[in-house]
């Protein structure tokens, strides 16, 4: 009897172990992009978090956008026209082949890169860039698939017009919402009195598309004669930040003002954000653009900077790795070379802290699938990671 009892217990134990092993095998593995920094790395004490600044890629030329592949690799755009890969913690020496031709002049070049939300199933990635055309350049988006070290199945799914010889205000950020719609920013291309307020121009707008470039039937100006059907919002100057709010799913944008008046906005369908009819900034020669900072029918920013910080790159903190920063907004500053941590309450920014002060011109900020925050910066051209110190998380 004891022998039978023992055999039954052993059988149950083996079944349980087998189920546990199967569960572990079937459990999806989180990608490991970079190993933990050295324990001797210097710890930074910020207002609510201790962290280590961990350098993960160097010797880059004007990195502009970042995307994280499911296998633990990272894609990085370099503005002169190269797409680079960091694999197994190392920057690959050869650029990825098949990138589109770009006009690498002024603020133009190879700009943002974004994976389709369902990338693991369909393999689509999206690149924004200043595309050459008759008379100059304008913002375009191409989708393609990565095969080995080459981009294949390339399709240009968005092309802003007209082409112009001016080399600034391309906008060029890409983001997806929870419904799978794609948003693309296009700057006013230096034609402030012509483009931002005209629905017949692509420029100075946020555009909304299906993932293959088709126009959604419920876009706000689809049925308006002569309007560009992809326009979702207008009255923008040069939007170089775009991010989805982790709780509401709303798309937030930031844009360069002139001298003063950089803005953070929540993007709403059909809304006019006012540039250049209203602004909190002035011309670079200190002359007045307009006396108006508000006007009926034009949206006020959620937040603005005066003086300008020259914002570029933007991400919300959704990761549990930064519990004291949860739902904070991170914004890069090109002008003052810092990362702004912005505390958000009720749709307003109520407090700001400078991080990574004077490290470089902050061009992009992303939260990777591993939950860590990555920042791309120019001069020096590098990618760093904000790695929470294990003994940290003050203020919990």
Rounded mean pLDDT, 290-304 = 98
In this predicted structure, the answer to whether residue 325 has a pLDDT above a threshold of 90 is yes
The CA angle 21-25-27, to the nearest 5 degrees, is 115
Rounded mean pLDDT, 189-209 = 98
CA distances from 29 to 38, 191, 322, 387 (A): 24, 49, 21, 20
In this predicted structure, the answer to whether residue 122 has a pLDDT above a threshold of 90 is yes
Rounded mean pLDDT, 285-313 = 97
pLDDT at 391: 58
Q: Is the dihedral of CA 280, 277, 269, 155 positive or negative?
A: negative
Q: Rounded CA gap, 368 and 54, in Å?
A: 14
Q: Phi/psi of residue 66, each to 5°?
A: -135, 145
Give start-end residues of each CATH 2.120.10.30 domain in the chain.
64-306
pLDDT in tens, 243-272: 999 999 999 999 999 999 999 999 999 999
CA distances from 23 to 11, 32, 183, 226 (A): 18, 20, 38, 57
pLDDT at 31: 75
pLDDT at 20: 39
Name the maximum alpha-carbon separation found in the chain: 98
pLDDT at 36: 86
Q: What is the pTM of this model?
A: 0.91
Rounded mean pLDDT, 330-358 = 96
Which of 5, 116, 168, 169 is the catalytic position?
Answer: 169
pLDDT at 354: 98
- Of the candidates 246, 242, 214, 245, the one whose C-alpha atom is nearest the C-alpha of residue 230 is 214
Rounded mean pLDDT, 192-211 = 98
DSSP 8-state code for residue 101: P
Rounded mean pLDDT, 120-128 = 98
Rounded mean pLDDT, 49-70 = 97
In this predicted structure, the answer to whether residue 225 has a pLDDT above a threshold of 70 is yes
pLDDT at 13: 39
Confirm if 283 and 334 have CB atoms less than 8 A apart: no
Rounded mean pLDDT, 152-157 = 98
> What is the residue-averaged pLDDT of the chain?
92
In this predicted structure, the answer to whether residue 24 has a pLDDT above a threshold of 70 is no
pLDDT at 149: 96
Of 346 and 281, more confident: 281
Rounded mean pLDDT, 219-230 = 98
Rounded mean pLDDT, 204-216 = 98
- Of the candidates 361, 380, 356, 373, the one whose C-alpha atom is nearest the C-alpha of residue 320 is 373
Q: Rounded CA gap, 52 and 42, in Å?
A: 6
Rounded mean pLDDT, 193-209 = 98
Rounded mean pLDDT, 197-209 = 98
CATH superfamily of 64-306: TolB, C-terminal domain (2.120.10.30)
In this predicted structure, the answer to whether residue 39 has a pLDDT above a threshold of 90 is no
Confirm if 260 and 287 have CB atoms less than 8 A apart: no
pLDDT at 25: 39
Active site residue 169: yes
In the chain, the percentage of residues whose pLDDT exceeds 90 is 87
In this predicted structure, the answer to whether residue 172 has a pLDDT above a threshold of 80 is yes
């Amino acid at each position: 009897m004891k022998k039978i009892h023992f055999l039954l217990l052993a059988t149950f134990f083996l079944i349980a172990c087998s189920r546990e092993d199967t569960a572990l095998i079937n459990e999806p593995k989180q990608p490991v992009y970079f190993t933990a920094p050295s324990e001797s790395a210097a710890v930074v004490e910020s207002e609510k978090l201790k962290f280590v600044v961990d350098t993960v890629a160097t010797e880059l030329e004007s990195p502009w956008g970042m995307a994280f592949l499911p296998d633990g690799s990272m894609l990085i755009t370099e503005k002169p026209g190269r797409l680079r890969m960091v694999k197994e913690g190392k920057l690959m020496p050869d650029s990825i082949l098949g990138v589109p031709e770009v006009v690498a002049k002024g603020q133009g070049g190879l700009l943002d890169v974004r994976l389709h939300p369902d990338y693991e199933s369909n393999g689509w990635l999206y690149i924004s860039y200043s595309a050459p055309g008759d008379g100059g350049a304008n913002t375009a988006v191409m989708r393609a698939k990565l095969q080995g070290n080459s981009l294949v199945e390339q399709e240009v799914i968005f092309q802003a017009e007209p082409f112009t010889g001016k080399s600034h205000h391309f906008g060029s950020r890409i983001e997806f919402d929870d419904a799978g719609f794609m948003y693309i920013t296009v700057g006013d291309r230096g034609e402030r009195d012509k483009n931002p307020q005209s629905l017949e121009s692509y420029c100075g707008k946020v555009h909304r598309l299906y993932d293959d470039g088709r126009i959604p039937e419920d876009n706000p100006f689809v049925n308006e004669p002569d309007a560009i059907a992809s326009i979702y919002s207008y009255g923008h100057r040069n939007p170089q930040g775009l991010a989805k709010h982790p709780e509401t799913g709303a798309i937030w944008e930031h844009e360069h003002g002139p001298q003063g008046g950089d803005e953070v906005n929540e993007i709403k369908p059909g809304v006019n954000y006012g540039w250049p009819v209203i602004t909190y900034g002035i011309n670079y020669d200190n002359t007045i653009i307009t006396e108006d900072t508000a006007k009926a029918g034009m949206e006020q920013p959620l937040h603005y900077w005066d003086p300008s910080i020259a914002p570029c790159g933007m991400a919300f903190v959704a990761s549990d790795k930064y519990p004291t920063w949860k739902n904070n907004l991170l914004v890069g500053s090109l002008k003052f070379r810092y990362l702004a941590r912005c505390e958000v309450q009720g749709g307003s920014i109520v407090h700001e802290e400078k991080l990574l002060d004077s490290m470089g011109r902050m061009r992009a900020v992303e939260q990777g699938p591993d939950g860590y925050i990555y920042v791309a910066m120019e001069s020096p051209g590098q990618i760093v990671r904000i790695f929470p110190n294990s003994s940290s998380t003050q203020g919990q």
